[in-house]
Chains A and B, each alone.
Chain A
Amino acid sequence: MAVTTLPSGPFGWLSITWRLLDYWITVYRRTWRGSVFTSFLTPLLYVVAMGVLLGGFIKTPAADLDGASSYLLFVAPGLLAAQTMQLVFGETTYPVLGLIKWHKVYASMVATPLTVSKVVIAQLGFIAFRIMSASVVFILVMTPFGVFSSVGGALGAFFVQLLLGMAFATPIFAYSAALQSEEGFTVIFRLLMIPMFLFSGAFFPLRNLSPVLEQIARITPLWQGVDLTRMLALGTWDTPSALVHLAYLVVLSVAGGWLAIRSLARRLAK
């Protein structure tokens, strides 16, 4: 009783956000079995099917494969980035609307000393954890196939997934928090996720596209992640273009984060 102050300052802020840890641990305990299965098996199936088996038919010189000496080496980093995107779409669409609408979980959270920004940040923290664990598994699965030219490259690719994931998570969270019904998800799955998955350079070099489509593909967030991951895996790092990709993803993450908090705050402040 008699709580007359709350922790203050940046650490106080964090310590209050940290109060959501047990919630996310409890949620994860209910769901991790399913996610372990998919996060281990999916990369393996993809790398074998697309990299090894399909790649076996593709004899293209490295110059035409963004510097990859085989299709396996070309496609594997693309698959990693595409997986990050898909995971984030999964985590920030139905679950977000569910917590708003069907279960009113956010509403019960913000009836406590927690605030909307803390609730959003904690969930992004959980999503970051999901991205990291899925990426670690994916990278470990890919390593025996010789996908990474160096340990540093693998490590860099890991951090790129985190950034790419946040760049997707925050704006989609903002979008989901403003939705009245789940029909809005079909739209972004069909118009954003699937086209990006197929045409943002994960499976073939962007130069293969017509000039207009190539320009469109180059401005998608997924391409930034694909190219960064690929440069790190192949050891073809090019600082100027990497900086552009990184800046793009950082700006999207931060702007999206601001939007996500605003969107959820509006939704809950009825």
Chain B
Amino acid sequence: MPYEYPSVTAAPQSPGVPAATDSMVHARGLRKTFGSFEAVRGIDVDVHRGEAFGFLGPNGAGKSSTMRMIAAVSPVTAGTLRVLGMDPQTDGPLIRARLGVCPQEDSLDPDLRVRENLLVYGRYFGLSRRAVRARADELLEFAQLTDKAKAKVDDLSGGMKRRLTIARALINDPEILLLDEPTTGLDPQARHSLWDKLFRLKEQGVTIVLTTHYMDEAEQLCDRLVVMDKGAIAAEGSPLELIREHSTREVAELRFGVGQHEALAARVADLADRVEVLPDRLMLYTEHGEETLAQVHGRGLRPLAVLVRRSTLEDVFLKLTGRSLVD
């Protein structure tokens, strides 16, 4: 007997059109090696429709390598990867038709004018000339570059180039927008305005996958994120979950005279969940910063300056990936 869909909930489906999948990116044991160097060492990632998903990690963590595999331009070394339910190895063009990609390094064509960069790019997706012209003007407006339409790309500022690259990534109305460090090099105004725009896109149902070095950006934009380190995933969750799991609610920062921090750390060690010694201050990770501070004062210690604040993603990040630069 043929199975019958309950009439109320059945989505209208035309034959031949694959069911809309809610898994936009699905990776299991995903690896990327360059020669003998392992840039990505077996990661599991799931991104769902409509989500904003972030990759955080220090330089060289493997974020861009991962993004390029998801963008179906860099071959997967091992493991499973599905993007929009398809295998990049066999369905690369079809996947790319539905992606918008903003690479870490701008790849605008300096021989073309600003608007031409959009026009030409839209044609690669099979848009008609008329459609692409309309879309280009819309996107120039979106990127606040309308009055630069005829400018040479080389004459744009770094931030303008970035905005143009993002506008170009939107030319095909992508279902997934891949942004590799979208706001690096932007001034605060441009960053905030870009966040607003990304938020609007997300509201329209666009799935966003981004990498960033900015914790505030991750907190603002990402529903969920992973912290990557040395090619592996060190933690995963929403920004709040990560803070709850990997840090305390609050942090008390105490500054003493130069050179005293190391010695004083032992005297406050039992007052906090964790004490970190930096050259210029002590960081006390604790649930209640003011109480801890009172206890510090109670032991007769007089810091030159104190700051009690909430834990941020940055604390989590530094805890998970370490403070020292390892390149």
**Cβ–Cβ contact A19 & B124, under 8 A:** yes
B110 proximity list for chain A (CB < 8 A): 103
**Cβ–Cβ contact A23 & B120, under 8 A:** yes
Cβ of A113 under 8 Å from chain B: yes
B75 proximity list for chain A (CB < 8 A): 269
Q: Contact check: which of A6, A27, A269 meets B97 at CB < 8 Å?
A: A6
Cβ of B112 under 8 Å from chain A: yes
Of the listed stretches A104-112, A130-138, A233-241, A250-258, chain B binds A104-112
**Main SS of chain A's interface residues?**
loop
Separation of A140 and B71 alpha carbons in the complex (Å): 49
Separation of A168 and B173 alpha carbons in the complex (Å): 40
Separation of A123 and B182 alpha carbons in the complex (Å): 31
Whether A26 contacts B112 in the complex (CB less than 8 A), given A104-B105, A105-B107, comes out as yes
B175 proximity list for chain A (CB < 8 A): 1
**Cβ–Cβ contact B103 & A111, under 8 A:** yes
Number of interface residues of B (CB under 8 A): 36
**Cβ–Cβ contact A113 & B124, under 8 A:** yes
**Cβ–Cβ contact B125 & A112, under 8 A:** yes
**Contact string against B for A residues 29-41, beta-carbon threshold 8 Å, 1 for contact and 0 otherwise:** 0100000000000
Separation of A7 and B94 alpha carbons in the complex (Å): 10
Cβ of A20 under 8 Å from chain B: yes
**Contact string against A for B residues 82-106, beta-carbon threshold 8 Å, 1 for contact and 0 otherwise:** 0000000000111011110101010
Separation of A27 and B116 alpha carbons in the complex (Å): 10
- What is the interface residue range for chain A against chain B? 20 to 34
A110 proximity list for chain B (CB < 8 A): 73
Whether A5 contacts B109 in the complex (CB less than 8 A), given A23-B120, A270-B34, comes out as no
Whether A111 contacts B73 in the complex (CB less than 8 A), given A3-B125, A104-B107, comes out as yes
Cβ of A246 under 8 Å from chain B: no
Cβ of B213 under 8 Å from chain A: no
Cβ of B18 under 8 Å from chain A: yes
Residue in chain A with minimal CB distance to B120: A23
**Cβ–Cβ contact B94 & A19, under 8 A:** no
Q: Contact check: which of B94, B107, B124 meets A107 at CB < 8 Å?
A: B107
**Cβ–Cβ contact B109 & A113, under 8 A:** no
**Cβ–Cβ contact A269 & B74, under 8 A:** yes
Provide a sorted-by-A list of 8 A–B residue pairs whose CB atoms are within 8 angstroms.
A1-B175, A3-B97, A3-B126, A22-B119, A22-B120, A111-B103, A113-B96, A269-B73
Smallest CB-CB A-B distances: 7 pairs: A104-B107, A112-B124, A108-B107, A113-B93, A113-B97, A3-B97, A23-B120
